Structure formats: structure tokens, C-alpha cells
Amino acid sequence: MNIQELSREEQVDQLYDRIHALLDQGETRKAQIVLQALLPADQAEIFADLPDDEQWQVLEGLPVEGTADILEKLADEEVAEIAQQLTPEQLADILDEMEPDEAADLLGDLPSEEAREILTLMDTCDEISPLLLHPDETAGGLMTSEYLALGQHIWAERALEAIRQWDSEHEYFYYFVVDGGGKLLGIVSLLQLIKANPRDEVAAFMARSFVSAPVEADQEECAHLMSHYDLTALPVVDAEERLVGVITIDDIVDVLEDEATEDIQRLGGAAPLEKPYLLTSTWEVTRSRVGWLLLLFVSEMFTTNVLQHFEGTLQKMVVLSFFIPLLVGTGGNAGSQTTATIIRALGVGEIEKKDMLRVLWHEMRVGLLMGVCIATVGFLRAWLFRSGDVSLGLTIGLAIGAIVLWSTSIGSLLPLFASLAGADPALVSGPLMSTLVDATGLFIYLTVAQWILGV
């Protein structure tokens, strides 16, 4: 079956309908056969959409390998829900068939009492236990303990024989050469092994120049290492440079997507959601946002004081208040344009902290250019608004130009300051930016107004 992207979604939908219908007619066996003929990712997608009772119908009598394949691809929360309904013995059997890193993640999500009980029932207990020691978002939490370590003096043909015998859950194409103490010395690929002279020792042709990650490294660092060096497998080592695990590229692709999601949600001014959108409750979504919204609301209250300070001016010329949303809004927009650019450039490593002055200078020139453009339009708008009131036009034009220049400069500095302080630059989100430039923008506006209009 060759699945073309353009029709993939429809194909999966059709298969869902077919499996759903079979289950409905009590043809469980047939439904299982149809499902198991699919690629694991599609199996999981269809399974997740089935009603709860039909999910159980499918799982009953499915071989443990089949169940393991499906659970590996489901979202963590869905797996947890299913795990609760299984006996510890059933769960242990299924976990034995899963990739060690996935199994460890699942165990980590269970209450620790329960996880310990299940672990003792598992055949792969020794393989999984070390993985449970590391926080989820580190190299240690991401790595699998399923890898093949070779001695440095082993012949190529012997290494190939070992690979033929190795009954791994997944296909691996890189193997790791270690010394007697387990210290990582080099990496060989399957291609190197089949091209090598059968009696050559692996140490003779292994890659000695390689990249590894310390077990406590942040997952984002690992992702950048693998992306920077175009790696498909990244060895993880302890403080003594002993090999303890391997991170594979499929995990990193997920990390990159998750990190981008977090950045985007933070930029929007909300805490990142821990799970897929439709699985979050109203209360969870609210909790992820209301804190920030309140914080911004309270800090934005300062604008009320700024305006009160200019009460006399506003009283005399109420027309000035008509332009308040336009001016503060545009300042906020200019600031968040800049912030988004800088945060992303920091995130992918295009700029570093040391580039701060260069970035500021760059943004100030951009701000000046944009300020002049917007000031011209602003002048025309205000001038036409009160049929030919030149001084109102000048006030609005000058104020908006200054606000754009100011917001652009502040917008470039804030993420860099956050980064210097060791905070996530994405925390300096668009909304936070807007709030900060609003109060200062109003001050600029009404000071310019007092000066030009003399009110």
C-alpha cells in the first residue's frame, strides 16, 4: 500500500470508518487484522479516535507486540488512561515490548508505587531502571538504553555477526565502540562494517571524531547538536565519558516541534500547554493563561496613572484621547515585530548575547525608517481628521514616529536582557512587550502634545 500524502488523510478516515463498522458488527478479529496491516502511526491515529468501549474491544486478544506498537505512538495522556485499566501483569508484558525510552516515559507518568510494582514484573527491568533516574527533558530522559556497544579490537565480520544476532526492537545503523571501562572511543556505521575488510579491527576504521552529549544536557541542546552536525544518532555519556545511552533522530524531531510550540505559546503570552489542545480541559487552558493575563492587566494599570497625570490636557482637548488606542497599539505592534524576530534569531543561534549592541543599532535604524513612514501617514490622518488642523497633525505624526523608534529599540533589547539574565527570551512575549511600551508611549504622546499644542 503506497500512501500518497494528498490522499493520506482521506485514506485514514476511510479505514477508520471500516474498522469502526467491523467493531460495531462484532467482527473484532477482522477489525484487528485490518488495523494491524497498517503502519504503526496510522494504527495509533485510528485507535485514538475510536470510542472507549471499541478501544477495549480492539485491545482484547491483540498480541502484546501489537498493543505496544499502538501505545508507543499515542499521546501520553491517552496511554495513561488505558494503563489505568490494565492489570500490572498485562502492563508489564506490554512495556517489555516497547522501546525502552518510551516504556520509561510511561512508567514515569504513573504513581511511583505502581511503577515500582510493574517494574519488578518486567523482563527488561534492568534496561529500563537506569532510564528512570533522569528528568524527562534531559539527554538522559530522552535516550534509549537499546544500543550495541562493540569492543575496539573486534573484527568487522564478528561485529556484523553480532548485529545479525542482535534482536533489537528497532533498526539501528550506528554502533558504539568502547574500551574495557565502557568509555566511548568511536562510532561505526553498518555501511563502514560491510565495506571494511572482514578481518580489520573496528578501531581501525571507526570515526574517532564524533559528537556526544552529557547525560544531564537539556533536550534542546541535544536537538541543536543533532541538527547542527546532521546526526541521526547521538551517544550520551556520563561524567567519565562512559556510554550510557543513545538519542535517535525521531525523538529529536518531536523535541524540535515541542520547543517551537512552547515558544509560540509563550510569545502569545500564555504558559505552554502540557498536552494536545483538544485533550486539555477548560480549567487547564484557563490556568495556562489567566496568570499572565492578570499580571499584564495589573502592570498595564500604570497607563491609567500616566493618563491621570495629563488629566488637564485631556480635559481641554478631548480629541487627544481619540488617538490613544491608535498610538499605543502601533507602538505595541512595532515592538512585538522586533521581539519575535530577535527571539527566534536567539533561539536558532543566529545571534548571541555578544551581538547586543550590533542588534540594537540595526533595530534603531529600522525603527527610524519605519517611524518616518508611519509619522507621515499619522500626520495626514490627524490633519484631515479636524479639517486642516496642522498642529494636531504635527503632534500625532511626531508622537507616533517617536513611539515606533522607541518600541523597536526596546523590543530588541528586552529578549537580549532576558537571555543575559538566563531567562527564556520567549517569556518576553508580544503582550508583555505591548504592556511595557504602552505606558511609556502615552507619556511620549502627551508630552509632545503639551509641547506643540501648549495645552
Contact status, residue 53 vs residue 23, Cβ threshold 8 Å: no
Q: Which is nearer to its own copies, 115 or 382 (CB)?
A: 382
Number of residues that bind its own copies (CB under 8 A): 133
Does 356 bind its own copies (CB under 8 A)? Our answer is: no
Give the type of residue at 346: L
Residues of this chain, 224-263, that bind its own copies according to CB under 8 A: 225-230, 232, 237, 241, 249-250, 252-254, 256-257, 260-261, 263
In the beta sheet, which residues pair with residue 240? none
Q: Which of 34, 86, 125, 160 binds its own copies (CB under 8 A)?
A: 160
Q: Which of 197, 198, 358, 390 binds its own copies (CB under 8 A)?
A: 358
Residues of this chain, 421-440, that bind its own copies according to CB under 8 A: 430-431, 434-435, 438-439
CA-CA distance, 132 to 125, in Å (whole number)? 11
Does 351 bind its own copies (CB under 8 A)? Our answer is: yes
Q: Which of 41, 80, 133, 420 binds its own copies (CB under 8 A)?
A: 41
Residues of this chain, 183-212, that bind its own copies according to CB under 8 A: 184, 189-191, 194-195, 208-212
The nearest distance, CB 176 to its own copies, in angstroms, is 12
The nearest distance, CB 437 to its own copies, in angstroms, is 10
Residues of this chain, 311-340, that bind its own copies according to CB under 8 A: 311, 314-315, 318, 321-326, 328-330, 332-334, 336-340
Does 43 bind its own copies (CB under 8 A)? Our answer is: no
Does 353 bind its own copies (CB under 8 A)? Our answer is: no
Query: For residue 112, with 0-12 CB atoms within 10 Å meaning exposed, 13-18 middle and 19 or more buried, which class applies?
Result: exposed
452: left (phi > 0), else alpha (psi -120 to 50), else beta? Answer: alpha
Q: Which is nearer to its own copies, 402 or 404 (CB)?
A: 404
The CA-based angle 325-406-364, given to 5 degrees, is 135
Does 171 bind its own copies (CB under 8 A)? Our answer is: yes
Q: Which residues in 286-295 are b (16+ Cβ under 10 Å) and which e? A: eebbeebeee
Closest by alpha carbon to 449, among 301, 318, 305? 318
Q: At 22, list the grid cell.
A: 467491523
Does 117 bind its own copies (CB under 8 A)? Our answer is: no
Closest by alpha carbon to 365, among 417, 413, 409? 409
Number of residues that this document lists for the chain: 455
Contact status, residue 203 vs residue 176, Cβ threshold 8 Å: no
Q: Which is nearer to its own copies, 92 or 398 (CB)?
A: 398
Q: How many CB atoms lie within 10 A of CB 324?
A: 17
Residues of this chain, 78-107, that bind its own copies according to CB under 8 A: none
